[in-house]
Amino acid sequence: MKLALALLATLASLSAAAQSYRERLPQDEVIYFVLPDRFANGDPSNDRGGLTGDRGTTGFDPTDARYYHGGDLKGLTSKLPYLQKLGITAIWVAPIFVNKPVQGGSGQQSAGYHGYWITDFTHVDPHFGTDADFAALVAAAHAKGMKVYMDIVVNHTADVIQYRECGACAYRGRADYPYQRRGGVNGAPINPGFAGDDVGTVANFAKLTDPSYAYTPFVPEGEKAIKHPAWLNDPIYYHNRGDSTFAGESSLMGDFVGLDDLMTEHPRVLEGMIDIYGSWIDRFGIDGFRIDTARHVNPEFWAAFVPPMLERAHAKGIPNFHIFGEVADPAAQAAHTITAKLPSVLDFAFRQALLDSVAGTRGTDVFEKLFDGDVLYAQGTDTSAILPTFSGNHDNGRFAWFVRKAFPQASEAEVLQRVLLSNALLLTLRGVPTIYAGDEQGFAGGSNDVDAREDQFGSKVAQYNARKLVGSDATTATSRFDETNPIFREIATLARLRTATPALTRGRQLLRAREDKPGLLAFSRFDPATGAEVLLAFNTSTEPLTRQVQVEVKSVNFRSLAGSCAPRASAPGSLTITLPPLGYAVCAAETQQ
């Protein structure tokens, strides 16, 4: 009887968790971004992805930063309790699709451990496990009330298509190499009647039959059927114009460092990608998509792609499916929520403000300029509220590296304080805070992608193990899941504070103080139901400060949620704030009606 009651209680608890996580809005989450290969190795038998041979075939070499190291989905699943203790509520998983194990010319080879060189969009890469392993991860996360976001790629596939004319081919634009001529304006007529790629009808693209307008593309004999679904093997569905310069027309139509650039204007490509990613929603019940290289795809594609994804999610009983695109240009990110109709984008502008102020010497007024721009998003502050914010990532480097670069004479204690302050800003201001795996263990990484992708399960890469961690005397040579690390403890505390305080997840944000030099930054956030005020105060300088900060007149008594807060307003509408160097405080008002 007792066993039955215990089982019923467990099932009730799981049911409550499942119900509550579905109800949460995107801004209610604390996201953890992880590359499975670098996180935890739950099954060493899949380290080589079922392949045999040396690293040039299997892609596996745990001593080289550019190859597979053995982390997998079983390992990630085993660490869900660790992530729960960190206060994480949603896991963003780097692409897990089948990748080309190794690509690159002689001396330039590296492996697809990161997941962005896809050949099969329909299954899990054997290096990470199986489809069943992914289903088990999603089910285990959901049972704990945690969401799972997939990192997806539409812009390109692995580098399979080659050109007869050259290896690394320069971009050839539409004016000099139009679709209706072979190899330039003076070439032989081809594709008669094709009206251009901006006429997105099936009838028009049926007239595009010859892909040799800029270069002569071909697929090597041994790779003619390497991609799945099978339609992806036909060069007609790619731009075939050579390498992007990441500017102008080539930004949308050029190969991303040689990767095969899909012609996303083509109706067949749109239809195919809707089928592919809709299937992942149908099969696994995931909770959202992060879209890689979103700005390198024509905006019309996203406007047509997003609605079917939301419809599939709703049909699956997922009402708050979160879609956010990578637009790695702070000046362009708001525009993509309008032109491309992306529901949300990664907030690179927020990261830049953190770098400028906490890992730099600019004034706190950078945040005023940042948040003044929130009105530019498609739905204004409603959109800005669901932008995933972050301090560093797998492409652009870790925040601690930038601190050490900007302040080479700083003590380790100061470096730690700056990292802690950045997390306080990240976890209390508007947006959806996103922690990059390893940051909570003081990983200091580097300024680029490879250097910022350290192993968390004990590394054999010399360049990783030689780096000093922040807040710890350990190195990445040993497994780094230390729950006593001061950064881990701070994130865990602030994450729980955030998720327990509606003002910090869904509340309106109001600037209270900023300076044109390092120093005070203050915001009020308001409970969306009660209007109760929570004051956030930060000191980006290395000197202590005491200042008066404006608050609501009805905010009289205060209690400290983090840091130290004066217990009572100095006068109606004013609170004394005292902060240590690089310190912060979170003060909750008890209002007088």
What are the residue numbers of the active site?
292, 326
As a dihedral over the C-alpha atoms of residue 423, residue 427, residue 429, residue 432, rounded to 10 degrees, the angle is 120
Nearest Cα residue to 288 out of 344, 339, 350: 344
Phi, psi of 41 (to 5 degrees): -100, 100
Q: Where are the alpha helices (DSSP H) in 108-179?
A: 131-143
* Cα(425)–Cα(439) distance, integer angstroms: 15
Residue with tokens 């320069």: 170
Number of CB atoms found within 10 A of residue 16's CB = 11
The percent of the chain in helix, strand and coil, each rounded to the nearest 5, is 35, 20, 45
**Residue with token string 């900023």:** 514
CA 520 – CA 497 distance, rounded (Å):
22
The rounded distance, in Å, linking the Cα atoms of 255 and 262 is 9
Assess contact for 40 and 96: CB atoms under 8 A. Answer: no
CA 548 to chain centre: 37
* Nearest alpha carbon to residue 316 among 289, 342, 280: 280
Per-residue three-class SS string for 351-402? HHHHHHHCCCCCCCHHHHHHHHHHHHCCCCHHHHCCCEECCCECCCECHHHH
Measured between alpha carbons, how far is residue 101 from residues 34, 53, 128, 461, 570 in Å?
Answer: 19, 12, 12, 19, 64
C-alpha angle 187-190-195 in degrees, rounded to nearest 5: 115
Q: Which of 550, 547, 548, 507 has the alpha carbon at shortest distance from 531?
A: 507
Could you give phi then psi for residue 66, rounded to 5 degrees? Answer: -100, 10
Q: 115-131: b or e for each residue (b if 16 or more CB lie within 10 Å)?
A: bbbbbbbeebbbbbbbe
Tell me the CB-side half-sphere exposure of residue 107, using CA atoms within 13 A.
0
Token readout for 429 is 């201001």
CA-to-CA distance for 266 and 206, rounded, in angstroms? 10
List the beta strands (DSSP E) in 391-445: 432-436
Q: Amino acid identity of 262? A: L
Amino acid at 564: S
To the nearest 10 degrees (0 to 180), the angle between helices 412-428 and 348-357 is 140
Residue corresponding to tokens 């000093």: 468
Q: 209-222: b or e for each residue (b if 16 or more CB lie within 10 Å)?
A: ebbbbbbbbebeee
CA-nearest of 555, 550, 547, 552 to 576 is 547
**Can you state the angle between helices 2-23 and 131-143, rounded to 10 degrees?**
100
8 Å CB contact between 31 and 439: no
